[in-house]
Amino acid sequence: MDISDTLVGKVVAEDADASDGYGTGYGDIAYFLDSPFFRIDRNNGNIYVKKGNLNREESTEYTVTVTAVDGGGKSTTGANEASVKVLVKITDINDNGPKFLPMINEISFPEVPEDPQLGIDPFCLKVEDLDVGKNGDVEFRIQSPGDKFFYIQDRRDSSAPAEKTIIDACLTPKEGKLDYETQNIHQISIEAKNTRPVVSSAAKAGIIPSDTINLTVKVLNVNEAPQFKEDLYIFEILENADPDTRLCLRNGDKAGCKSVVQASDPEDDAFEYKIDDDAIRNNFPFNIDPRSGQLTLQSSVDREAKSTWEFDVLATNTDEFEQLEGRTRVRVLIKDVDDMPPNPEESVIYFCPGGRLSQWPITFSDPDESVDNSITAEFDDEQESSVIKDMLKKMSLNTDGNTLQLKSEDSPDAQLPFNLKIKFADFMKNTKSMYFQVKSCPSCQSENGTCIDEKKLIAPASLQPQLWLAILLAICCSLFALISFLIWNHNKSHKLGSEVAYLPSNIDDVRENVVMYDNEAGEAPCADTRIGYQTVPLNKASRDPAIQDSRLCHTIDHRLKNASSTENFTGAPWDSRLLYKYEGSNSVLNSLSSLNSHLTERSLDLRNFAEGNKFGLVRQLFHSSVPGSLHRNVTIEMDSDENYHAMLY
């Protein structure tokens, strides 16, 4: 692309003499540049490209020196000048195409193994593009028919110089496509093409540059495992077949029985057939010839016990150094033979009172899959007694498909219950006899004479596991609730200690002479914030009131420490309340042991209480010499024996 006279840039120089005002011309500046690629306008300092092209691939940048000379550059002596270096960087355009290097003509690949885990390393070709960035982007295409066997994985070479692009184009075989025995030589063409068109010249403008390489790919032979012709073989055999009978391919040649699995080795190496060891267990009924692959029966089979067998057959190389194996699946269908007798359902024959046709028909079936599966039923010649044989002269069996009912000319109520033997026979005269109990129906609907099926009153067998599970779950939930309550009750009792916590609202609190202490908030000499309740005897203190307080506090403190320990602390703190045991919910004295009593002093008349220890102290405390009045102004005095007395005043 011709870029002659393209403006590159501009330099500007200044001279202080340009403003002297005398017109000397000393401040006129001329610019000079000496370069084979660039020129400069000496009057204004504009730099241009000389006629021709710049090639970034030859040089990515140029450094030129620009000189500014005063006096208009007319004088060669006595002129002042200044120089500056200018760096010109060349911007890349897409003016080059990709190239394969080095140019090679032939490569080799081993045939792709059947096991994809082995893998094959790709063959990488180097592709160079002298452009960079987007101008160096390349896409690849394998022309048909090579694209059926190979594909390209490309990536940029990070170690390539910055001034150009190098790409690794790696030719990779498609999985399972290369096979030496099928095609051992492939001719392929690979095209590398830029993703954007050329802009270098008018003649080539719009053309996308590309390069093509033609390769001969040789496929190398690799030892492969034997291969079966089919992935699945289906055989059939009669269930009454004798040992050594050959299995026959299903839907095979009608003229003969084809009983072999077939495999071949690509390299014609020797191999043997065998049944997979995982399939061979006790009573495995099949065998295979290691040379021919013929499958035979080695023991009897029973379709009613197992109708289908599936197992793997292997073809293994006999080479002791490399025993490769192929594998196929074999399915054997056991064909039915009418060798099983009918199978009647064990049931009870019911008659409603006065009825002549039995209720709830007996069902029967034939396990065989014979073409004619019709079943007949008749009274067996062998019965338990001659009386029953005489009864049967007036009875018959009504069959309908696979069900039957017993019909009697007269109502058999007088002869019930009895046992009846019935013989069933199929098309091949396979017979089975079974006894049925004939009895009166326990629940009959009188309006229509229909026997209620007791089985329907019981949960169906399919629902019985769910029913038992629901019952078990209910029992477990009940036990959990009971255990939780017992644990809660135990923890509550353990937390409250040997006595129940005091509740003012509980009028049935029956504790007696229990002194409880609470935090005195600094107002009492024996304040404490973590104390339990203890009974404190008041008859061991000193006569001196001060000493009384001191010893009493000491005693209380000692008791409180014991009660507040981890082992002994069992209750919450209380203030010093004295609770008295009362005589029951109907006693008038329950107000004396309740802090929230509904009784008052005026409603409590103690004058008529009898003498005695039980109410003596109470009468002394509350009974006044003045009839109809009550006093609580008492003093506590201690005698010589350190016993306390209540004194009225």
pLDDT tens string 429-485:
778 888 888 888 877 875 555 777 555 444 444 556 777 888 989 999 999 999 998
Q: What does residue 455 show for φ and ψ, rounded to 5 degrees?
A: -65, -30
Q: What is the per-residue DSSP string for 33-59? A: E--SSEEE-TTT-EEEEPSS---TTT-
Could you identify the residue written with the tokens 């403008």?
Answer: 205
403 three-state secondary structure:
strand
Residue among 42, 33, 17 nearest 67 (CA):
33
CA distance 527 to 548: 16
CA distance 236 to 238: 7
Cβ atoms of 517 and 531 closer than 8 Å: yes
Residue 320 token pair: 């002791």
The bridge status of strand 210-220 relative to strand 106-110 is: parallel
Q: How far apart are the first and last CA of the chain?
A: 135
Residue 139 token pair: 């896409």
pLDDT confidence of residue 444: 80
Residue among 417, 396, 419 nearest 408 (CA):
396
Q: Within 10 A of 296 (CB to CB), how many other CB atoms are there?
A: 17
Indicate the Cα dihedral angle 30, 34, 39, 43, nearest 10°: 0
CA distance 600 to 543: 35
For residue 155, give the H/E element and its range: strand 150-156
CA distance 383 to 1: 119
Indicate the Cα dihedral angle 280, 282, 284, 287, nearest 10°: 60
What separation in angstroms does the CA of 407 have from each of 355, 361, 395, 403, 424? 9, 11, 5, 13, 17
CA distance 35 to 54: 13
pLDDT confidence of residue 532: 40
pLDDT confidence of residue 430: 79
Residues of the chain with pLDDT under 50: 114-117, 202-203, 456-461, 496-502, 509-543, 569-583, 589-604, 606-612, 614, 624-634, 648-649
Residue among 348, 342, 337, 398 nearest 370 (CA):
337
Residue 62 token pair: 């140029």
Residues 575-619 pLDDT 10s: 444 444 444 555 554 444 444 444 444 444 544 444 445 455 555
Q: What does residue 612 show for φ and ψ, rounded to 5 degrees?
A: 150, 170
Q: What does residue 480 show for φ and ψ, rounded to 5 degrees?
A: -65, -45
